[in-house]
């Protein structure tokens, strides 16, 4: 589905989407490919990434798949080098890979904490750092777009490591926006609210029996769609986003302002 953007909007770009094999990542990768980008799907499970790339190819897009655990800096560096070698450069990095689970903090093990911070925050650093030189050389102005959540600033009871990690990513994007703004790279975050039909919504709302509660607090009266997030990524990746740097684009139907709603 792309009823919004010009079909050649991202022609000639190469985009890496981490965690691009499923959910928001796959929807984003699919849209970027529809808009003309070659999309590199990175995923911990290579067969899932391959299936995603095959679905994009079958729809007429251009895509490839790589085994990528964002926690492993040398693996990230190797994937970036291969992408540059095979596709001539890198223009867009979407830091989408994330882990999360509900657990009261008093029951959380240090390794549980470390695992989420390692995937979300350290993974975002690893990918951004490894992609710096290639993004800096982009003729289209390099973009780093990191997926966070508005829980980064509200706090997230039951999901402390993810909330802290996402707050760290938000801070990292603001720092890099300044450090790398004159190095030809724009760095921004997107903060999705509750997006229906994702693993995150299932784990955080459905499994906890709080779907109706959450829905009642979304001012526009519906959960977001994966497409709502993919189009936000496309906007930031496009020439329309060329003066947007260091911001958090909140795509949550107004949910961040309704925490005090009765």
Going 129 to 131 to 137 to 142, the CA torsion angle's sign is negative
Nearer CB in complex with ligand COA: 98/145 = 98
Nearer CB in complex with ligand COA: 100/170 = 100
In the complex, what is the shortest distance from the CB of residue 166 to ligand COA, in angstroms, rounded to a whole number? 9
CB 248 within 8 A of CB 170: yes
In the complex, what is the shortest distance from the CB of residue 201 to ligand COA, in angstroms, rounded to a whole number? 8
One of 66, 151, 235, 243 is an active-site residue; which one? 151
Nearer CB in complex with ligand COA: 74/111 = 111
- The residues that touch ligand COA, with contacts defined as CB under 6 A, are 98-101, 103, 109, 111-112, 115, 119, 199-200, 203
Q: Quote the strand ranges of the chain, DSSP E.
A: 14-18, 38-43, 62-67, 92-95, 142-147, 185-192, 248-251
What does the longest C-alpha to C-alpha distance in the chain come to? 55
Instruction: Reply yes or no on whether 151 is catalytic.
Output: yes
Nearer CB in complex with ligand COA: 174/203 = 203
In the complex, what is the shortest distance from the CB of residue 140 to ligand COA, in angstroms, rounded to a whole number? 29
In the complex, what is the shortest distance from the CB of residue 191 to ligand COA, in angstroms, rounded to a whole number? 12
Structure tokens at 205: 């709302």
CB 244 within 8 A of CB 236: yes
Instruction: For residue 208, give Cα distances in angstroms to 46, 66, 102, 202.
Output: 30, 33, 8, 8
Active centre residues (catalytic): 151
């Amino acid at each position: 589905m792309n009823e919004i953007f010009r079909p050649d909007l991202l022609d000639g770009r190469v985009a890496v989407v981490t965690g691009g094999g499923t959910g928001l990542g796959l929807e984003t990768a699919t849209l970027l490919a529809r808009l003309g980008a070659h999309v590199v799907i990175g995923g911990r499970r290579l067969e899932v990434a391959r299936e995603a790339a095959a679905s994009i190819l079958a729809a007429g897009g251009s895509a490839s798949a790589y085994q990528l655990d964002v926690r492993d800096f040398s693996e990230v560096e190797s994937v970036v080098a291969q992408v540059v070698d095979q596709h001539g450069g890198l223009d867009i990095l979407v830091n989408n890979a994330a882990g999360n689970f509900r657990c009261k903090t008093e029951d959380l093990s240090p390794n549980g904490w470390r695992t989420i911070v390692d995937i979300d925050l350290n993974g975002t650093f690893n990918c951004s750092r490894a992609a710096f030189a290639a993004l800096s050389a982009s003729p289209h102005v390099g973009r780093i777009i990191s997926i966070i959540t508005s829980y980064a600033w509200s706090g997230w009871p039951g999901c402390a490591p993810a909330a802290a990690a996402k707050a760290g990513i938000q801070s990292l994007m603001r720092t890099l926006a300044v450090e790398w703004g004159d190095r030809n790279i724009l760095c921004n975050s997107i903060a999705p609210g509750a997006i229906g039909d994702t693993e995150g919504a299932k784990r955080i709302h459905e499994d906890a029996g709080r779907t109706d509660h959450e829905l009642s607090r979304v001012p526009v009266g519906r959960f977001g769609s994966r497409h709502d997030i993919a189009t936000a990524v496309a906007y930031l990746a496009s020439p329309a986003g060329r003066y947007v740097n260091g911001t958090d684009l909140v795509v949550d139907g107004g949910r961040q302002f309704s925490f005090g709603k009765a």
